[in-house]
Chains A and B, each alone.
Chain A
Amino acid sequence: MKANVRPSRIAVHIALILYTILAIGPIVLILINAFKTRRAIFADPLGFPDARTFTTIGFDRVFSNSDFGLYFFNSFTVTIVSLGLIILIGAMAAWALTEYRFWGNTLLSLYLAIGIMVPIRLGSVSILQMMVELNLVNTLTALILVYVAQGLPLAILILGEFIQQIPKDLRDAARCDGVSEYRIFGSIILPLIRPAIATVAVFTMVPIWNDLWFPLILAPGDGKQTVTLGVQQFIGQYVTDWNAVLASLTLAIAPILVLYLLFSRYLVRGLTAGAVK
């Protein structure tokens, strides 16, 4: 039986496939070239590694010439701690802003909305000054603080939107059951906004992991570099060790990919639930 395919559907799929190629292309390029000799990278950048061109020299160099494990650990610490704080504080703030009417509620929400519109990098100079005064330069704490500030506004917006969709009767029922406000938040609201939390997690995690700007200006010192900053040492003014750069980028993709897969089950649900309801 011939499937009845409408032209508009084909067009949509072509667009999607083109976009997928566009999005995945660079990643595939990094992956295949990470396993090729330097000569092969430049001679045939699009070719797959074969028996002649296959090498793991990039990876060897990454592990021997740099503290890659430490960079990884730094990136991981910064990302996970920031993520945890953003979700915890964001969910609590979203709950407070949507559930309780208090003086300044609207003003506070507006203030947070500005945080979404104005990029935090505009304040880099004052942030650096502040960190110098607080003696936090070259610490991971500085990065975590900045990332939490950067991620919170959007997190509060998304989570607030979801919390609003939870029927008010549920909270009232819990109150009649004699459940404390903290318990209502912990035992009822949090489990019900899990998809939203996954959405927020993915949206905030990726930019933090990939960020080069703040590690560069706030924590460039030895021992505090993140992966994205660590990679830079292989990029010289005159010579760039492409094998090592591509190898470290390949390694850097892995953890974020794992986290993404963990959250993605909820991500789609979170996105569509927010859009449709």
Chain B
Amino acid sequence: MADVSLHSIAKSFGTAEILRDINLTVDDGEFVVFVGPSGCGKSTLLRIIAGLEPVSGGEIRIGGRRVNEMPPAERKIAMVFQSYALYPHMSVYKNMAFGLKFAKTNKAEVDRRVRQAAEILKLSALLDRKPRELSGGQRQRVAIGRAIVREPSVFLFDEPLSNLDAALRVNTRLEIAKLHRDLGATMIYVTHDQVEAMTLASKIVVLNHGRIEQVGAPLELYRHPRNLFVAGFIGSPRMNFIKGQVLGLDDTGATIAFAGAQAEVRTRLGALKAGDEVTIGVRPEHMAERAAETIALQGRIDAVERLGEASFVYMRLDGGEDVIVRAPGDEPAVPGERFTAYLSRETLYVFDAAGQAVIPTSRSML
């Protein structure tokens, strides 16, 4: 069993606090993705789990054992680095066998494991090559192979796809997902790319400024972001935010005005007061729904990006806010002209002045 649990992990470099009070449980066999903007502490957290970085406080447990004081090898983890970190002077075979040589594994066993890993990763023909003779994708596979042969209980990936080109990235992403299914091992994966996070994870951990913003399944984060940060980070293109104000409250909810239109949003009253500034969030894919019960927002088009299956319309609302609308591919939008976005009231998010989501109980239009 190899679940990973973190209890009030803190880390600071000198006076700079990188991580504070991180509590997290990763179940056995789970694929957890740490995602966040650069500098949010996600890589540091991974290195802490790996044992490459000491913690300033808190406890790490892997498979129920406290591992704070253990060196990386004893934690039964294997790590795949963004730079691949292959030993440049060793062949592919030696790169994969190198770690095992010191783990007192007998020769036949080393050979069996290396060849098996090479088989899985389609590297069998390349075993005698040096890393510099390989392409980026092949190097990455060798790095993954080096992790597999150690038969670790936890795989750690540190932005493994960042150095690959777009097509290869999609391929390798699928391979990693397949690997997870086949091996059934616990995997922790760090990325700044929310698409990778959404596609790979069984559980996403969104980090920002050294704190966990939200933990949840990909669709859960997409549908129920807990705050402005998660709402803006998950989803592509990012969620549109429009300033609004609470007009009035009654026993059942708040009435909020935004962008010239007024929507009545029934929320748990929470901390909202009349006159409070709030932020209305709406995803680009929910802004071109020309149904009966929609709110129409007028504006002028700044730019149009045509992707074929969809067109992204960048527009400035008459209220002054810039928003992105994911319109159908054949939308006849022209920059400079006026455009109307249609918001379904079902898809509005409300965030209070502190950026926390206010959970709507029901939504209706004035």
Chain A residues close to B by CB (< 8 Å): 167, 169-170, 172-180, 183, 187-188, 191-192
- Asked whether any CB of chain A lies closer than 8 Å to the CB of B336, the reply is no
Pick from B79, B82, B84, B89: contact of A176, CB under 8 Å:
B79
Assembled-state Cα–Cα distance A187/B89 (Å): 10
Q: Chain B 68-90 against A: per-residue CB contact (8 Å), 1 yes, 0 no?
A: 00011110011101111111110
- Asked whether any CB of chain A lies closer than 8 Å to the CB of B103, the reply is yes
Assembled-state Cα–Cα distance A176/B79 (Å): 7
| 30 chain-A/chain-B pairs, Cβ below 8 angstroms | A169-B84, A169-B85, A170-B85, A172-B47, A173-B81, A173-B85, A173-B87, A173-B146, A174-B87, A175-B51, A175-B71, A175-B72, A176-B52, A176-B72, A176-B73, A176-B77, A176-B79, A177-B98, A177-B102, A177-B150, A178-B73, A178-B74, A178-B99, A178-B103, A179-B99, A180-B102, A187-B98, A188-B87, A192-B88, A192-B89
Assembled-state Cα–Cα distance A170/B83 (Å): 9
Q: Which residues of B contact A177 (CB under 8 A)?
A: 73, 98-99, 102, 146, 150
Q: Which residues of B contact A170 (CB under 8 A)?
A: 85, 87
Q: Kindly provide the distance from the CB of B81 to the nearest chain A CB, expressed in whole angstroms.
A: 4
- Tell me the dominant secondary structure on chain B's binding face: loop
Q: Kindly provide the distance from the CB of A194 to the nearest chain B CB, expressed in whole angstroms.
A: 9
- Tell me the dominant secondary structure on chain A's binding face: helix
State which size class the interface on B falls in: 20 to 34
Q: Chain B 325-346 against A: per-residue CB contact (8 Å), 1 yes, 0 no?
A: 0000000000000000000000
Contact indicator B72/A167 (Cβ below 8 Å):
no
Contact indicator B83/A176 (Cβ below 8 Å):
no
Assembled-state Cα–Cα distance A172/B81 (Å): 9
Q: Chain B 102-133 against A: per-residue CB contact (8 Å), 1 yes, 0 no?
A: 11000000000000000000000000000000
- Asked whether any CB of chain A lies closer than 8 Å to the CB of B10, the reply is no
Greatest chain B CB density within 10 A among A174, A175, A176, A179 is at A176
Within 8 A of A (CB), among B128-157: 146, 150
Residue of A nearest to B47 (CB): A172
Assembled-state Cα–Cα distance A179/B72 (Å): 10
Assembled-state Cα–Cα distance A191/B72 (Å): 23
Q: Kindly provide the distance from the CB of B67 to the nearest chain A CB, expressed in whole angstroms.
A: 13
